[in-house]
Amino acid sequence: MKKTTDIERSILEACLCREWQVINYIIGSVALYDFNEPEYREIYSAILDIAISEDLPTIFRIGEQLRSTGKDNCLDRLHALNGTSDKFWSIPGIKSECAELKDTAIRYKLSRIGNHISSSAEQDNGTATNELVNELYNKMLEMLTADQSGGAMDLREAIERTQKMQDERTATNSYARLKTGFSKLDEMLVIGPGKVIVVGGYTSHGKSALALCIANNMMLEGIPVLYITIEMDYSDIVYRLAAMNGQFNLSSLVRGHAPKIRQIDGIKAIAPHIDNFHLVDLDAASEVEVVLHMQQHMIRHPDTGLIVIDYIQNVDCERYPRLSRHLQVSTIARYFRSAAKRLKVPTMVVSQLARPEKRDGKFRMATIFDLKESGDIETSADAIILINRLDLESQDWYAIIDLAKQRMGQRGRVDMYFTGRHVRFEEQAIPNVELEEHKIKRM
């Protein structure tokens, strides 16, 4: 195996090959801080500046760039590079070099993180263990997912990064959009990695059921999901998934009037896909604990297409225990948004609505302002879905699913029918007689 300095030197020499295809591959693959040697890092920084201006990097041009930024101390290392190498550089030829450099960089960073955490733990300076663990995962995730470039960027760089992100999604078949499994909703909803969608509803209006339906649909499509529940326990999730995908109704399953769990038709139906569904069952949890679970999961399963948090009002605020509950929920919402952005995964947050659905016996559509202890929930969300239940008495009922907010797409409504015995939502047009009874105009 080559020494780290030899790999770094080899990458820099490849940047001098005058082949834009090779240079662009290196720039798209290797980050500035993948270089451990400070002088090589400065040389690569100069190469990046030159390449962004669409000039070919040469020894002379890089030297000018280094002198203009006061990095004359790097000139000896620069002139030691073989800028007229007879070696033929191609994409396959440089690919292994770039991979080896990044692997070495990660090992160095892991070592530094480990030393830092070890030192902090040994000092026992009053830092809570939860904070130490959180710091460890934060640093690991920064290392594994960060863009590795600080400061402001110009539009040219932003365009290049966006193209790189788009290429990565295409190449890896990653999930650029949240796929709910409901065709009309999917036509409107545009949620990419790192975005937050809030599902809101009044008590017993199917908030958890809709979130679980979406997670179930994604699981069946082969898209890994993580469901973090502070509302139900693991057996509730199992029973609901069994009822949702089979013929047994939920009450029969809960009462034990069904065969062994593995033999239930609903469980047998999802058996080929169960490795795509991951579950965290918490009796109580703070925002820090929830994000720790998210981080741990994404390190183990980076291809996860959706994380569900059910639900935000059940989350305790560990970082600011003295704030009012209104402000606590605001900080929790922002904390979840920050985590989703860093982890680059769509995150669905279930939220309670505070106000009664009816006033003076009249039906009223829920609004964003009805989010319980809303604070910054609405401003932290990239999209908000509100559930409006029409019939309060029957086990089965119609619902208007209102896409009330969306930063990157249209708003709109979808008619659905909820089957109580199977805790399942299905897209189905609401009969005119139902709409007339509730004095609702069809959109």
Domain ranges of the chain: 4-96, 183-437
Interacting residues of 5 by C-beta distance below 8 A, sequence separation 6+? 37, 40
The span from the CA of 239 to the CA of 385, in Å, is 25
CA distances from 121 to 100, 107, 116, 124, 292 (A): 32, 21, 9, 6, 18
pLDDT for residue 148: 45
Interacting residues of 210 by C-beta distance below 8 A, sequence separation 6+? 199, 201, 385, 387, 401, 425
| 209 has pLDDT over 70 | yes
Which tens digits make up the pLDDT trace of 158-195?
Answer: 777 777 767 766 665 655 557 899 999 999 998 888 89
Order of strands, edge to edge, in the sheet holding 397-406?
277-281, 225-229, 306-310, 347-352, 196-201, 383-389, 397-406, 412-419, 424-427
pLDDT for residue 304: 92
Let me know the angle formed at the C-alpha of 156 by 152 and 162, rounded to the nearest 5 degrees.
90
Average pLDDT, integer, range 3-28: 83
Q: Where are the alpha helices (DSSP H) in 365-431?
A: 377-380
Enter the tokens of residue 212.
């679980």
pLDDT for residue 395: 84
pLDDT for residue 125: 63
Q: Which of 172-176, 373-377, 405-409, 410-414 has the lowest mean pLDDT?
A: 172-176
Q: How many CA atoms lie within 13 A of 215 on its CB side?
A: 32
Q: Which of 12-26, 92-106, 260-274, 358-372 has the lowest mean pLDDT?
A: 358-372
Give residue 439's identity as a one-letter amino acid code.
K
Instruction: For domain 183-437, say whether CATH 3.40.50.360 is its number.
Output: no
Which tens digits make up the pLDDT trace of 343-397?
Answer: 889 999 999 988 665 555 677 888 888 886 665 788 889 999 999 998 767 789 9
- The answer to whether the peptide bond before residue 311 is cis (omega within 30 degrees of 0) is yes
Interacting residues of 59 by C-beta distance below 8 A, sequence separation 6+? 16, 78, 79, 81, 83
Whether the Cβ atoms of residue 399 and residue 376 lie closer than 8 Å to each other: no
For domain 4-96, give the CATH superfamily.
Answer: DNAb Helicase; Chain A (1.10.860.10)
Mean pLDDT of the chain: 83
Q: Coil, helix or strand for 412?
A: strand
| C-alpha gyration radius of the chain | 27
Cβ-count burial of 33 within 10 angstroms (0-12 exposed, 13-18 middle, 19+ buried)? middle
Enter the tokens of residue 181.
């499994």
183-437 shares the fold of 4-96: no
**Which among 215, 271, 414 is positioned nearest to 261, based on CA atoms?**
271
Which tens digits make up the pLDDT trace of 54-77?
Answer: 678 888 889 888 998 888 888 988
Helix (H) or strand (E) holding 351: strand 347-352
